[in-house]
Structure 1
Amino acid sequence: MGTAGRIEILPDVAGVVTRSRALIVERLQTAIAERGIATIALSGGSTPQPLYEQLATENLPWEKIHLFWGDERYVPYDHPDSNYRMVKRAWIDRVGLPSENIHPMPTQFADPASAAIQHEADLRIFFTTYFADSPPTEWPALDVILLGMGDDAHTASLFPGTAALQVRDRWITVGEKSGQPRLTFTIPLINAARSVIFMLAGANKQAALQHVFALEADDFLYPSRFIQPQGELWWIMDQAAAQGLPETMA
């Protein structure tokens, strides 16, 4: 697996949220101080929702912060399953984020593959515009990518045994679960980040963690093993999830 990154085990979900919030705020502030803007890619699911609600209470220069999504279900923005909708209600609607700083994955195309191409083109324009020293042919380094992990060890919409795991020449691709398409960051795009933060909670993550942190396992069966960023890697988890770690790590 390579380096496991930094592992922090908190007593409960509230502790995971509080610690993740502190890490994210610090990294956003550092990015703004060093480069004038900050970029963060968000995850869906129930675990980060209270994190977004807490981030909405921070006194940050919102005009300098740009929000992206690491993956998205291919549903309209107002659909109950939309990751964008969840973040909008928990965070965006509560702060003064300029609309041009919000970069949801497009889900209005008839063909998800066309949507993936368009979103990648939009991201290339963004990074070319704001980071003149980072040509669009290179992998852009987002300041923070927030990830979760399913009980099958998937992360973003990179599911076990799917074609999305093999995409190495694109920033955005189409993932799928049970025949339902999703848009997702590719593995190389995630691994280009300055900071990747996994948030995990619950006993249902134990079996997956045993394989993700094993010395040997099939990466294509446990996709979170692929995440080895050039920057820092954090695993923030509660006690219930951490029981799945090898004894030498827990």
Structure 2
Amino acid sequence: MRTFLWKDHGRVHLYPDPESLASGATEHLVQILRTGLAQAPRFHWVLAGGKTPAACYRQMTRETLDWSRLDLSLGDERCLPAGHPERNDTLIRNTLLQAEGPRLAHFEPMRAEWGAEVASAHHAKVLETLGPIDLVMLGMGEDGHTASLFPGHASLSSQAPVVPEFSAPKPPPERISLGLTLLQKARQRVFLVSGESKRAILQALDRGQCPPVGLVGAGDWFIDQDAWFECQ
């Protein structure tokens, strides 16, 4: 593993493969959670979907934390029926919330089965009860999107805390996402990026281009060798 500063983007933690990346990210996340819980009565952690986050969640089930003081929510969700295997909340329940300790946490899913517009308005009210985001975990798509904020889409320029998306480039087209302004206010950000298909976007970020993932603010980037542009 190698750690170094990356211009205006924060710190890169470079790992040889997705497995070691997930282990390193888990260790980092646990440290943030323990520090946060030592400093405040509650901690709001926004979760991501995807294979690498899922690997982190499975590892975190073995960690000893005061889970009952954690508020968990999502960065985005697909508008699919409740319980659908491609929903992010299904992934959370099948990994992190399978363990006895994490089940004590307060988890607020996005009610995506209600449709993007209604569910976005509802989740904005939910977030008011949870308070500021202490930590957000984010992935990155091959087009540079993060959460469900896609390049050139109207939702990217919205000032709303939660935004509906009606034309995502991959199915399902209808989704819900935390808005850019809310992600920018998060106290800490962790990005998980793996695979050669992500390298071009990381290169674009390094050259000063700003796809959605580059607009949310600096953070800790956990990247594997296949994705990092130095390794060609």
Query: Fold conserved (TM > 0.5)?
Result: yes
CA contact (8 A) 1:207 1:244 kept: no
Counterpart of 1:228?
217
Moved more, 97-106 or 25-34: 97-106
Q: Does 1:104 align with 2:132?
A: no
Q: Deviations over 1:160-195 (max 9, x none)?
A: 111111012x11001241371111011111111111
Residue number in structure 2 paired with 1:238: 224
- List aligned pairs for 1:1-250, cutoff 5 A: 3-97=8-102, 101-109=106-114, 111-127=115-131, 140=132, 142-168=133-159, 170-175=160-165, 176-178=167-169, 180-215=173-208, 217=209, 219=210, 222-228=211-217, 233-243=219-229
Looking at structure 2, the residues matched to 62 and 101 of structure 1 have their Cα atoms a distance apart, in angstroms, of 8
Q: In 2, distance between residues paired with 1:5 and 1:77?
A: 36
CA drift of 1:76 comes to 2.1
Q: Which amino acid in the other structure matches residue 214 of structure 2?
A: R
Q: In 2 relative to 1, CA 3–14 (structure 1 residues): closer, same or farther, beyond 3 Å?
A: same
Contact 1:116 1:173 in 2 (8 A): yes
SS in 2 for 1:9: strand
Aligned equivalents of 1:172, 1:58: Cα separation in 2: 31
Which residue does 1:135 correspond to in 2? Answer: none
Deviation at residue 108 of structure 1 after TM alignment:
2.9
- For residues 127 and 216 of structure 2, the distance between their equivalents in structure 1, rounded to whole angstroms, comes to 21
- Asked whether the 8 Å contact 2:120–2:162 carries over to 1, the reply is yes
CA distance in 2, matches of 1:103, 1:52: 16
Report sequence identity in percent.
29
Partners of 1:19 and 1:6 in 2: how far apart? 14
Distance 1:93 1:100 in 2: 12
Q: Would you say the 8 A contact 1:153–1:212 is kept in 2?
A: no
Query: What code does the residue aligned with 1:87 have?
Result: I
* Structure 1 unmatched ranges of 5 or more: 128-139
Give TM-score, length-normalised by structure 1.
Answer: 0.84
Q: Is the 8 A contact 1:27 1:143 kept in 2?
A: no
Partner AA of 2:109 in structure 1: P
CA distance in 1: counterparts of 2:126 and 2:102, whole angstroms: 19
Query: 1:87 Cα shift?
Result: 1.1
CA distance in 1, matches of 2:7, 2:180: 15
Separation in structure 1 between the aligned mates of residue 186 and residue 142 of structure 2, nearest angstrom = 24
Q: Could you tell me the TM-score, scaled by structure 2's length?
A: 0.90
RMSD, aligned CA: 2.0
1:73 Cα deviation from its structure 2 partner? 0.6
Contact 2:9 2:214 in 1 (8 A): no
